[in-house]
Amino acid sequence: MPHTSLPSLLPRPASAATGEPGSLTLTQTTRVSADASAAGVLAWLQREVGAATGLPLAAGDEDSAQIRLSVDPRAGLGREGYRLIVDGEGAIIVGHDPAGLFYGAQTLRQLLPAAAYRRAPTGDTAWTLPPVSITDAPRFRWRGVMLDVARHFLPKHEVLRFIDLMALHKLNVLHLHLTDDQGWRVQIRRYPKLTESGSWRTRSQQGAGRPPTFDGRPHGGFYTQDDIREIVAYADARHVSVVPEIDVPGHSQAAIHAYPELGESGDIPVGTQWGIFDEVLAVTDHVLDFYKNVFDEVIELFPSTYVHVGGDECPKTQWRDSPSAQQRIRDEGLADENELQSWFIRQLDAHLAKRGRRLLGWDEILEGWLWEDGDARTGAERRAEGSSEDGGAVGGGGRREGLRPDATVMSWRGEEGGIAAARAGHDVVMSPTHTSYLDYKQSESEDEPVPVGTLLRVEDVYLAEPVPAGLTAEEAERVLGAQVNVWTEHMDTPRRLDYMVFPRLSAFAEQVWSTGPRDYAEFEPRLRAHLDRLAALGVEYRPLDGPRPWHTRPGLVGWGS
């Protein structure tokens, strides 16, 4: 029998070759063995592949099973690594850890026809695994997606579906953007008004035109604490860590609407427009205590090491006119409102550290504490020594009074914040807008729905390099990985989310998983085959040749170049 060519695997494994002649066909009598550490992967395989094939894939003993699953940290595979061998005798998957074994099982599923991704059998498909030998492990430990459920609420079952799609692509961090001006999406027992009144708005802006137009429909929703526990447990079973984000001190209109004493401007509505607004949190002891209590409930729900505090796009206008903010600046010996923001974030940083968690924030969390020349002093210290006041604060993490060294920076305003943070000794997750924002337009066609931002094609995502040029080897080790962001201002249904996310998320998966050079001409045929899997799952992805008529949104204006 001639050797069988390798299927179109995505992301590309580190090492893959055709094996010895002899394939393995799954039948009603196929048995699967699993050691104690592999029980979760066995259950997943029986549930997902069993549903599509109609085969029981019943558990058997190691001697009689055709598929054998095991975890062996001594196998030399590395964190999240696996080895998969298929021949005429059977299939063996060995994982360095349960996550690695799970990823090996995901690759096994890709060896089958695309119908293996359906929910039920559709005909007389031959479920044949070709002979292969694959050894694989990820390049980065952080392979993340930020999902904005604040701008448009995504029902729980759709979040669970999204987790499955992440797991299919071997992605392992779901960053949930739970609060913003336009809605508060997580139940907090101590402060019920956050969801009673802060979780819905009276209307939503349509498109990005000026003056804005609105749909005239209320929008809202939130996750109960039991919903969150279910989401976290579901993700954990698929080796996805869920990182919560509670955005402070800007992007807080929904919280201020629920509890007006949190803000600087009294009673305000939940936001109905998209953009950046002057309304920010006050910096009083009451506000700090309020959010410490919020974060205490959040960390009860999310076991993730990391807790995201936002920290982005915080205008300083209200603080400049606020007696309490100006008094705080004087009391703490701060130079200006930039350092006031950093001081506010540091209070939460210390609070989370006491509870064994690590603070994560957008690169603005470091404003006022690091300068372009790498000097990690406060602006006040520099000015006291006669340094220029316009030295160019870009983010920081000062070693004297800045954030704790284990605070982690998510670099979105280009690469500069990540570079500065890595040089100051902070871990970094790269997420620059021009390669990571999946709300950005996918072509220059007028048919693209609500085109915003700059052009971000599949190939642009695929070819992006997460580690910025110019870092030393030691600094580059600070780059934990990368993340794409799904901002949902213009994604008001799951269908529209699918269109914007896929297949660019598939390209991102290879960017953060696979090692070695990348060639889009080699990648595209594998992607086209992968689209058959997405279609079998019911993912309404954007076709590579452009939008279909029902994808367009005539009359809605976007923004950007």
Q: Give tens-digit pLDDT for 301-354.
A: 999 999 999 999 999 999 999 999 999 999 999 999 999 999 999 999 999 999
Is 20 a known active-site residue?
no
Q: Is 80 exceeded by the pLDDT of residue 401?
A: no
How are the residues of the chain apportioned to helix, strand and coil, as percentages rounded to the nearest 5? 35, 20, 45
Average pLDDT, the chain: 92
Q: Are 280 and 263 in contact (CB under 8 A)?
A: yes
Torsion (CA) 224, 539, 497, 438 in degrees, nearest 10: 120
Please identify which of the residues 251, 351, 426, 530 carries the catalytic annotation: 251
Per-residue pLDDT, 382: 35
Residue 319's closest CA among 403, 250, 247?
Answer: 250
Q: Is 80 exceeded by the pLDDT of residue 370?
A: no
Is the domain spanning 142-357+429-551 CATH 3.20.20.80? The answer is: yes
Q: Is 90 exceeded by the pLDDT of residue 277?
A: yes
Tell me which amino acid residue 525 is.
P
Q: Which two tokens stand for residue 352?
A: 């989370």
Q: Are 484 and 436 in contact (CB under 8 A)?
A: yes
Please identify which of the residues 297, 313, 375, 532 carries the catalytic annotation: 313
Q: Is 80 exceeded by the pLDDT of residue 395?
A: no
Q: Which pairs with CB-CB distance under 8 Å and at least 24 residues apart come from 284-293?
A: 284/324, 284/328, 286/261, 287/262, 288/344, 288/347, 288/348, 290/191, 290/259, 290/262, 291/246, 291/248, 291/348, 292/348, 292/351, 293/188, 293/190, 293/191
- HSE, CB side, 13 Å, CA atoms: give it for residue 229: 5
Q: Is 80 exceeded by the pLDDT of residue 392?
A: no
Q: Is 60 exceeded by the pLDDT of residue 406?
A: yes
Q: Which two tokens stand for residue 44?
A: 């997943």
Find the helix or strand (DSSP H, E) in which 481 lies.
strand 479-486
Beta-carbon contacts of 107 under 8 Å, excluding residues fewer than 6 positions away, are 9, 13, 82, 84, 134, 136
Per-residue pLDDT, 399: 34
Per-residue pLDDT, 289: 98
Is 279 a known active-site residue?
no
Residue 4's closest CA among 130, 100, 108?
Answer: 130
Per-residue pLDDT, 472: 97
The strand ranges marked E within 487-536 are none
Rounded to two decimals, the pTM is: 0.94
Is 477 a known active-site residue?
no
Please identify which of the residues 80, 180, 448, 492 carries the catalytic annotation: 180
**Superfamily grouping for domain 15-136:** Chitobiase/beta-hexosaminidase domain 2-like (3.30.379.10)
Residues of the chain with CATH 3.20.20.80: 142-357+429-551
Torsion (CA) 372, 374, 380, 386 in degrees, nearest 10: -80
Which residues is 307 bridged to in the sheet?
359
Residues of the chain with CATH 3.30.379.10: 15-136
